[in-house]
Structure 1
């Protein structure tokens, strides 16, 4: 049976704190949840992969860094990307395949861009996805508040499937590292 990995997508200072992009909605709460999820993953020896967007803070080294409160350890992977989908033009898929990963727990920024696109892309590539409902965030846009965007994605992505693989939305207080998808197959 395949294993589970944690993806921490674009949890970079420039998105979380700003000034050019952030601060994200519910910054302290979201960081607390992601920190707890990372701690739990380490306790369970779940591989952790950080995705870092090359466009964030491209002219500001501090904004480009992964947020210090949830920074990777020496055992974690860090994969850089240019596209919204963390699989596009990166070695993420190969890295996951080499580790026999079949289930991804996803946290990070921004909900409607990289979190959404990577989660959808993962199902097409053969991964089941658990999106942590309180472990992703974004900023307001011209049409919707960040709170509305997050609520919409939590409702809209739950159950989204691509033939054999699908997305479940689960709260961080659930057993998110349990590959619950197998109960439905």
Structure 2
């Protein structure tokens, strides 16, 4: 089993305006904490020789993630380093209209460890698509986040997706949800996540 760390849409403006003015500081704080965990995972993956793939959403002109703007840029904490792949996308599905599958195949990847933004859109869609394509997936329980909606807080959305996606399968491929602290990148760890 060859693993890769897939970090989705951790961009400067990904959650800008995704909560009421009163709640935005809490959303921003949760994002900072999530990004810090992903940065640690990224460093652990690099040390273990595990491929790191960053996905970046290309928003249209006027969008908070409009290509070339400061909001579109990947967060500095997870910015690409030498040898890391950046896949640019225009939809919620990181595989749709991109070369992600080819990039993973080039590296013989069969197991994705996934984190990023936004839980109910790009993370959910990519995780489900990956399993349908035959990849085992470990979703980082505390490594994805989102903004509030009109009826749910970001923490409720994250909890819902962790519960819903844990055990989701297609054929032999399955999703396991694990906290960042429980994710191992070496095969000798005895932990298959």
Same fold (TM over 0.5): yes
Q: Give the structure 1 partner of residue 120 of structure 2.
A: 112
Matched, 1:35 2:39: yes
Residues 136-170 of structure 1 deviation map (CA, whole Å, 9 limit, x = unaligned):
00000011100000000001100000111010000
Q: Give the structure 1 partner of residue 54 of structure 2.
A: 50
Whole-Å separation in 2 of the counterparts to 1:20 and 1:57: 13
Matched pairs, number:
179
Q: 1:54–1:64: 8 Å Cα contact kept in structure 2?
A: yes
Q: 2:6–2:54: 8 Å Cα contact kept in structure 1?
A: yes
- Closer, same or farther: CA 160–20 of 1 in aligned 2, 3 Å: closer
| Structure 2: gaps (5+ residues) | none
Whole-Å separation in 2 of the counterparts to 1:72 and 1:59: 17
| Structure 1: gaps (5+ residues) | none
* Aligned mate of 2:134, from 126, 144, 148: 126
How much is the aligned-residue C-alpha RMSD, in angstroms?
A: 1.9
Q: Within 5 Å, which residues of 2 pair with 1:163-174?
A: 163-174=171-182
Q: Give the structure 1 partner of residue 161 of structure 2.
A: 153
Q: Within 5 Å, which residues of 2 pair with 1:1-185?
A: 2-16=1-15, 18-19=16-17, 23-24=27-28, 26-55=30-59, 56-58=64-66, 61-177=69-185, 180=192
Displacement, 1:36? 0.7
Whole-Å separation in 2 of the counterparts to 1:57 and 1:8: 16
Displacement, 1:28? 2.4
Deviates more, 1:50-59 or 1:154-163: 50-59
Whole-Å separation in 2 of the counterparts to 1:176 and 1:149: 26
Whole-Å separation in 1 of the counterparts to 2:110 and 2:36: 26
